[in-house]
């Protein structure tokens, strides 16, 4: 398969899926507090997606090549967990940071977004990591327009991040998205300007950098899903689903509760 170019009707459907994914996070926000278990958050999201939004939670039983089927409806990655943290019966505690990653399927179309949450009073270092990772994602988004190349996006994220002394995870990347959860192309969060695929109007893909406070190295836990930093340093991630427009980009995963834009961004649609 190659990169799909979405039609006007496809894009309308992806706008709906994207907004719904973001609205799950809006709904969940007041529940992300010390004492709540990630299983409870998973159940809240599952029921909201299925009963309120009439959506399918894309992660549930997702089993890409060789993987054991993912057992839950959302991913919850806490502190040194990089991504794909599996909800369980452990409670969040004061000072944790947690990435919550939501992917809905609405009328066959996928919307994929994640945010960082501070649980109670997080350390200055943890807050800074979450904020700069949000900025790193937006530095990538800001590059998006027809004619640039995927390497330009990766380069923008990598240089911003490494200049601050943080590291970019290499093993996981953004991805094309549409009728399938993970489509071509792979959207690396590091790279060289002017390299890789050229962006065309109508492409839709995610940008979802994982940034570590320590070294970039990761390892996978025995559950077959959860990824952690090898040095146990904190890791953060944010994710949006992005449409390439004739003049730039449109962020599809926005809703009333989306966080404020970084100062260097003036619009969610250019
Ligand atoms: N939502 C993740 C992404 O951004 C993928 C999660 S796959 C799962 O690509 F199976 F762990 F849910
Ligand atoms: Co994604
Ligand atoms: Co995601």
Of all atoms in ligand 1, which is nearest to the CA of residue 62?
Answer: 10
Classify 239 as helix, strand or coil.
Answer: strand
Per-residue confidence (pLDDT) for residue 45, from 0 to 100: 99
Per-residue confidence (pLDDT) for residue 144, from 0 to 100: 98
User: Which residues does ligand 1 sit against, CB inside 6 Å?
Assistant: 59, 62, 70, 75, 84, 101, 103, 112, 206, 208, 225, 239
Q: Ligand 3 centroid vs 265 CA: distance in angstroms?
A: 22
Q: Ligand 1 centroid vs 6 CA: distance in angstroms?
A: 22
Name, in order, each residue with C-beta under 8 angstroms of 164's C-beta and a sequence gap of 6 or more: 132
**Cα–Cα distance measured from residue 87 to residue 36, given in angstroms and rounded to the nearest whole number:** 11
**Cα–Cα distance measured from residue 158 to residue 188, given in angstroms and rounded to the nearest whole number:** 10
C-alpha distances out from residue 26 to 51, 63, 67, 134, 152, Å = 16, 27, 30, 17, 31
Q: Ligand 1 centroid vs 224 CA: distance in angstroms?
A: 13
pLDDT in tens, the chain (270 residues): 699 999 999 999 999 999 999 999 999 999 999 999 999 999 999 999 999 999 999 999 999 998 999 999 999 999 999 999 999 999 999 999 999 999 999 999 999 999 999 999 999 999 999 999 999 999 999 999 999 999 999 999 999 999 999 999 999 999 999 999 999 999 999 999 999 999 999 999 999 999 999 999 999 999 999 999 999 999 999 999 999 999 999 999 999 999 999 999 999 999
Per-residue confidence (pLDDT) for residue 66, from 0 to 100: 83
Strand partners, 168: 211
**Cα–Cα distance measured from residue 126 to residue 82, given in angstroms and rounded to the nearest whole number:** 14
Residue 12, H or E segment = helix 8-28
Per-residue confidence (pLDDT) for residue 203, from 0 to 100: 98
Residue with the smallest CA separation from ligand 1 atom 10 is 59
Residue with the smallest CA separation from ligand 1 atom 7 is 59
Both tokens of residue 149? 């190349």
**Cα–Cα distance measured from residue 22 to residue 31, given in angstroms and rounded to the nearest whole number:** 15
Across 4-15, b (16+ Cβ under 10 Å) vs e yields: bebeeebbebbb
Which CATH architecture best describes the domain 8-146+164-185+199-251? Alpha-Beta Complex (3.90)
Four-point Cα dihedral 95, 239, 252, 22, nearest 10: -30
């Amino acid at each position: 398969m190659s990169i799909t170019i979405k039609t006007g009707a496809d894009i309308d459907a992806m706008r709906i899926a994207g907004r719904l994914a973001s609205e799950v996070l809006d709904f969940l926000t007041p529940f992300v507090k010390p004492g709540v278990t990630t299983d409870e958050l998973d159940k809240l999201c599952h029921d909201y997606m299925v009963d309120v939004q009439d959506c399918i939670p894309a992660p549930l039983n997702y089993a890409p090549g060789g993987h054991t089927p993912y057992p839950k409806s959302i991913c919850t990655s806490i502190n040194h967990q990089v991504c794909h943290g599996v909800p369980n019966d452990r409670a969040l505690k004061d000072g944790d940071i947690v990435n919550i990653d939501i992917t809905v399927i609405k009328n066959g179309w996928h919307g994929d977004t994640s945010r960082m949450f501070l649980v109670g009073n997080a350390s200055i270092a943890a807050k800074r990591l979450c904020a700069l990772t949000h900025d790193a994602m937006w530095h990538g988004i800001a590059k998006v327009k027809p004619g640039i190349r995927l390497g330009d996006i990766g380069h923008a994220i990598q240089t911003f991040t490494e200049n601050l002394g943080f590291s970019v995870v290499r093993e996981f990347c953004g991805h094309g998205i549409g009728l399938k959860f993970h489509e071509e192309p792979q959207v690396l969060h590091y790279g060289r300007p002017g390299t890789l695929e050229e962006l065309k109007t109508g492409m839709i893909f995610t940008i979802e950098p994982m940034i570590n406070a320590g070294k970039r190295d990761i390892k996978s836990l025995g559950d077959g899903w959860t990824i952690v930093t090898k040095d146990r340093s904190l890791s953060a991630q944010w994710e949006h689903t992005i449409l390439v427009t004739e003049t730039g980009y449109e962020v599809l995963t926005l809703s009333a509760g989306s966080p404020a834009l970084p100062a260097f961004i003036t619009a969610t649609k250019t």
